[in-house]
Amino acid sequence: MEVRAITPRGYCYGVVDAMTLAQRVAMDPNVPRPIYILGMIVHNRHVVEWLDKEGIINLDGPDRLSLLDQVERGTVIFTAHGVSPQVKEKAKAKGLTIFDATCPDVTRAHRVIQEKAAQGYEIIYIGKKGHPEPEGAMGHAPGKVHLVETEDDLETLPIQAEKVAVVTQTTLSQWDTEALVQKVVERYPQAEVYNEICLATQLRQKAAVEQGKDCDVVIVVGDTRSNNSNRLVQVVREIAGRPAYLVDNVTEIRPEWLEGARCVGVTAGASTPSQIVKEVLDYLRSYDPANPRPPRSILEEGPLQVIPRPKR
Ligand code: SF4
């Protein structure tokens, strides 16, 4: 059985920067304690458990603004998904020390929203309801940003403006987004489109489709809450037309997925620790259908050291 390690896959620059910042903060004795992260720093539970081990308290809940009610002193880290100006102001007003791990690609989308809103545009933001990135983005022009996830949302939009801009979340499926943008432009021909799907997401999706299309099955390693991991599964199924499965780690691979397979593709979400992807590849490379051994994971030994501790 050929095991095809799809490239590029896994960690993106935004996630690596966020994790490095969090580790640096945790190791600095001068940073006021306790240290909190507002939401999952990236959507992967192994990364969250690692930070917990490093002494960082992860706060999770429906929105960043109300999460701050749980913090009275110390330090907050904002996640790679970005936050609204209201969250920054509230943290400052509470006298908290702030570290911002917002990905530069998310910041760029925030700037577009602010600029266009200041120029009198109504903004259609294509994104996923309930995800922290739209929450942060919408706060950059309150009342001016309209969240659209599906064509149905478009039907009920209350926009009558002459100036309309379309901005997208960074981790969407590029094919779905293209189709939805087309619908927006049919309805608002005057719309200016700012496609903010980040390069890391675009390259991983394209690679999964192009390198996965002649595989019998593609395994995506990632967390069920990771939007970009779920989008990888979606594009392999819908665009490449191949079966695809999301697994958190090697132990979730089912033998029936591999039955008769001559080629198995492997890719990973942008927030998936490399060690977890490596053991999936190692397991598949030594897979013997006549004598399949049950997969074992390093996770059974305890939480991962997600990135190495720097030498002091
Ligand atoms: S997926 Fe894209 S936007 Fe999100 S952290 Fe990575 S590079 Fe940044």
pLDDT in tens, 165-221: 999 999 999 999 999 999 999 999 999 999 999 999 999 999 999 999 999 999 999
> What is the CATH architecture of 13-103?
3-Layer(aba) Sandwich (3.40)
Q: What is the pLDDT of residues 97-150, one digit of tens each?
A: 999 999 999 999 999 999 999 999 999 999 999 999 999 999 999 999 999 999
Whether 80 lines ligand 1, by a CB cut-off of 6 Å, is yes
Class of domain 2-11+200-301: alpha beta
| Intervals of CATH 3.40.50.11270 along the chain | 13-103
For ligand 1, atom 6, the nearest C-alpha belongs to 14
Beta pairing partners, 166 = 124, 193
| Interstrand relation of 35-38 and 75-78 (parallel, antiparallel or unpaired) | parallel
Identify the CATH number of the domain defined by range 105-197: 3.40.1010.20
Q: Of all atoms in ligand 1, which is nearest to the CA of residue 18?
A: 5
200 pocket-lining for ligand 1 (C-beta < 6 Å): yes
Answer yes or no: 122 catalytic. no
pLDDT in tens, 12-35: 999 999 999 999 999 999 999 999
Atom of ligand 1 nearest to the CA of 42: 5
In sequence order, what are the residues at sequence separation of 6 or more whose Cβ sits closer than 8 angstroms to the Cβ of residue 18?
41, 42, 79, 80, 101, 103
Q: Tell me if 172 CB under 6 Å of ligand 1.
A: no
Q: Where does CATH 3.40.1010.20 sit in the chain?
A: 2-11+200-301, 105-197
Distance 15 CA to ligand 1 centre (A): 7
User: In whole numbers, what is the pLDDT of the chain averaged over residues?
Assistant: 95
Distance (Å, whole) CA 206 – CA 195: 16
> Which of 198, 199, 77, 79 is closest to 135 using CA atoms?
79
Q: From ligand 1's centre to the CA of 193, what distance in Å? A: 20
